[in-house]
Amino acid sequence: MEYTQLGRTGLTVSRLCLGTMNFGPQTDEPDSHRIMDTALEKGINFFDSANVYGWAENRGRTEEIIGNWFAQGGGRRERTVIATKVFGAMPVEGYSGDSPWPNSDRLSARNIRQAVDASLRRLQTDHIDLYQMHHVDRRTPWEEIWQAMETLVEQGKILYVGSSNFAGWHIATAQEVARHRNFLGLVSEQSLYNLMERSVELEVLPSAEYHGLGVIPWSPLHGGLLGGVIRKTEEGRRRTTGRAAEALEENRAQIQEFEDFCDKLGQAPGTVALAWLLHQPAVTAPIVGPRTDAQFASALDALDVKLSAEELARLDEIFPGHKTAPEDYAW
């Protein structure tokens, strides 16, 4: 297993991050525990979750599954770098209204305090290694957010703070306020980034690199479109509907070209898509969110794939990327 530092911290994490979004909604608890055990056996020490995972009326269920796994002992918690998130509306005890209870879905100091304590209970641990803001909260002042996070660090409830789905200027603003407070600030950014969606190359990745943040890409296979969707559909192993079907038709020629290229390489499309991310200098660890053991095993294959300069250039031809702004839109 390859390891790297998370941004400019002393925290060492595996080059793949195990995403747990499917634990609960699509993968039952025993299978989820088996996948996490396999991850540790393979050397993956970086797990990502969120307080809202489990979704709908089961928000928080994913963290509970992880907590029950930690409770089995055997060094599971000690060997795991656990990341979770705060932001989305969560159930409030004694309240069953249709709309969120005020302050249950923001980054107010009050909600951050309540949310971290709830996550710690569900995870059955005394601290969270990486506590991430799931989305930016434009209504709450950064001074308030950082004061709340500083308190959690002082209390030992969290070690590091990360962001998710931030724009480049959000990262810059957050870091500037943190610097004035003599606080470490953000250490990572979790962004939508893959061969088909490369808009973060314009400003998010340059900002993250400048400010010393590790980058943790989510949806590395773009909802399965980079996982051999055309062949799987033709063979009856996958059925696309709704937005996925529309996206496939809009990008069919491009995706077909990609799958043909992967055939020439002798590699599965999903493996190549993950390997491409691992070759990007700003990337710390792509998130893989397997529903099954087979999907997890396929993701691990990407660690052994080394793409040549010519192969990387060919992928850029199929899926053109971006230069750093403003060079990207110079004419």
Residues 54-93: tens digit of each pLDDT: 998 899 999 999 999 999 999 999 999 999 999 988 887 7
Strand, helix or coil for residue 303? helix
Segment 294-317 mean pLDDT: 95
Alpha-carbon gap, residue 80 to 145, rounded angstroms: 26
Segment 149-159 mean pLDDT: 98
Q: What is the pTM (predicted TM-score) of this model?
A: 0.94
**Count of residues for the chain?**
331
Tokens describing residue 73: 């002992």
Alpha-carbon gap, residue 166 to 174, rounded angstroms: 10
Pairing of strands 46-48, 17-19: parallel
Asked if residue 220 has a cis previous peptide bond (ω within 30° of 0), the answer is no
CATH class of 3-224+269-308: alpha beta
Is-contact 293 249, C-beta < 8 A?
Answer: no
Tell me which residue of 7, 4, 14, 13 sits closest to 300, measured CA to CA.
14
User: Does 96 score more than 90 pLDDT?
Assistant: no
Tokens describing residue 62: 């994913």
- Structure confidence at residue 242 (pLDDT): 65
Unique residue bearing structure tokens 């396999």: 38
User: Does 238 score more than 70 pLDDT?
Assistant: no
Segment 146-158 mean pLDDT: 98
Greatest CA separation for the chain: 60
Tell me which residue of 239, 82, 89 sits closest to 162, measured CA to CA.
82
Alpha-carbon gap, residue 51 to 262, rounded angstroms: 37
Q: Is residue 331 very low, low, confident or very high in pLDDT (cuts 50, 70, 90)? A: low
- Structure confidence at residue 278 (pLDDT): 98
- Structure confidence at residue 73 (pLDDT): 98
What are the residue ranges of helices labelled H in the chain?
29-41, 61-70, 109-123, 142-155, 168-180, 204-210, 229-234, 242-250, 252-265, 269-278, 293-300, 309-318
The domain spans of the chain are: 3-224+269-308
pLDDT in tens, 239-269: 666 677 888 889 999 999 999 999 999 999 9
pLDDT in tens, 186-235: 999 999 999 999 999 999 999 999 999 999 999 999 999 999 999 887 77
Beta-carbon neighbour count of residue 312 at 10 Å?
14
Q: Is residue 326 very low, low, confident or very high in pLDDT (cuts 50, 70, 90)? A: confident
Among residues of the chain, what percentage have pLDDT more than 90? 83
Among residues of the chain, what percentage have pLDDT more than 70? 97
Residue of 3, 53, 193, 329 marked catalytic:
53
Alpha-carbon gap, residue 185 to 328, rounded angstroms: 29
Residue 53 annotated in active site: yes
- Structure confidence at residue 94 (pLDDT): 72
Alpha-carbon gap, residue 64 to 114, rounded angstroms: 16
Alpha-carbon gap, residue 46 to 222, rounded angstroms: 21
- Structure confidence at residue 273 (pLDDT): 98
Tell me which residue of 245, 244, 241, 254 sits closest to 219, measured CA to CA.
244
Alpha-carbon gap, residue 38 to 34, rounded angstroms: 6
- Structure confidence at residue 133 (pLDDT): 98
Segment 11-39 mean pLDDT: 97
- Structure confidence at residue 61 (pLDDT): 97
pLDDT in tens, 178-187: 999 999 999 9
Contacts within 8 Å (CB) and 24+ apart, 135-139: 135/87, 135/88, 135/164, 135/165, 136/163, 136/165, 136/166, 136/167, 136/170, 137/87, 137/106, 137/107, 137/108, 139/106
Alpha-carbon gap, residue 68 to 249, rounded angstroms: 42
Tell me which residue of 232, 200, 197 sits closest to 215, measured CA to CA.
200
- Which residues fall within 8 angstroms of residue 252, CB to CB, at 6 or more apart? 230
Is-contact 82 130, C-beta < 8 A?
Answer: yes
- Structure confidence at residue 185 (pLDDT): 98
> Over the chain, what is the mean pLDDT?
94
Tokens describing residue 265: 């390489």
